[in-house]
Chain A
Amino acid sequence: DAGVTQSPTHLIKTRGQHVTLRCSPISGHKSVSWYQQVLGQGPQFIFQYYEKEERGRGNFPDRFSARQFPNYSSELNVNALLLGDSALYLCASSLDKGQPQHFGDGTRLSIL
């Protein structure tokens, strides 16, 4: 079975631009979560969606938004990019909101 897939794998943007990252969960998983991982640190929670509804939001500015589609795939949008947004963005899926989360290999976002 396919694991969590994320696209693109790498992305280079400049300050002020916006970006859309995509995630396809494991088949049958209804919950998708997004995390930001800066080099040398553990992932930080951004959003969780379950059955297309937002179920949790981390301490990130309103420039960050997300949504989940009827097929349970998800998008993370970031507007007005800052240098500090450079990071690995990870998507994780789970059967339910409290079950083990399985991660994709992430999108490496670099802001110039």
Chain B
Amino acid sequence: EDQVTQSPEALRLQEGESSSLNCSYTVSGLRGLFWYRQDPGKGPEFLFTLYSAGEEKEKERLKATLTKKESFLHITAPKPEDSATYLCALLGGSGNTGKLIFGQGTTLQVKP
């Protein structure tokens, strides 16, 4: 069964203190791994898609990487505005569907 587990559940950082969020997954055939950011009261905002092991994507202070079992979201020198819940999702199901299987998220708080 396709499954996604994120750790830690919550993370508190000081402004400028770099860290990484982990997304472990099991899937019969990887068709895509997605990272989203979700602010309170809002829908998830798309950040990155990764399709194969070794792939990396960057956007401002965020960098996503992918291995055969895990994905990491690296946050370099975070700012308070990076505070949000970060969600990882697998593209699951058969090739005919676009079902996203989400982890429970990591809630990041960056203090000034």
Residues of A within 8 A of B (CB): 4, 31, 33, 35, 40-45, 48, 50, 55-56, 58, 90, 92, 94, 96-106
Residues of B within 8 A of A (CB): 4, 31-32, 34, 36, 41-46, 49, 87, 89, 91, 93, 95-105
Among A4, A56, A99, the most chain B Cβ lie within 10 Å of the Cβ of A56
Contacting residue for B44 out of A41, A96, A103, CB 8 A: A103
Once bound together, how far apart are the Cα atoms of A97 and B49, in whole Å? 14
Once bound together, how far apart are the Cα atoms of A35 and B36, in whole Å? 14
For the complex of A and B, list the 6 residue pairs with the smallest distance between their C-beta atoms, beginning with the closest: A42-B102, A56-B97, A103-B43, A97-B98, A105-B43, A45-B99
Show 17 A/B contacts (Cβ-Cβ < 8 Å), sorted by A: A4-B43, A40-B104, A42-B105, A44-B102, A48-B97, A55-B96, A55-B97, A55-B98, A56-B99, A58-B99, A96-B98, A98-B91, A99-B98, A101-B46, A101-B100, A103-B43, A105-B42
Once bound together, how far apart are the Cα atoms of A41 and B38, in whole Å? 12
Once bound together, how far apart are the Cα atoms of A90 and B102, in whole Å? 13
Please give, as numbers and ranges, the residues of chain B lying within 8 Å of A35 by CB-CB distance. 100
Does A100 lie within 8 Å of B49, measured CB to CB?
yes
Among A41, A42, A56, A96, the most chain B Cβ lie within 10 Å of the Cβ of A42
Please give, as numbers and ranges, the residues of chain B lying within 8 Å of A58 by CB-CB distance. 99
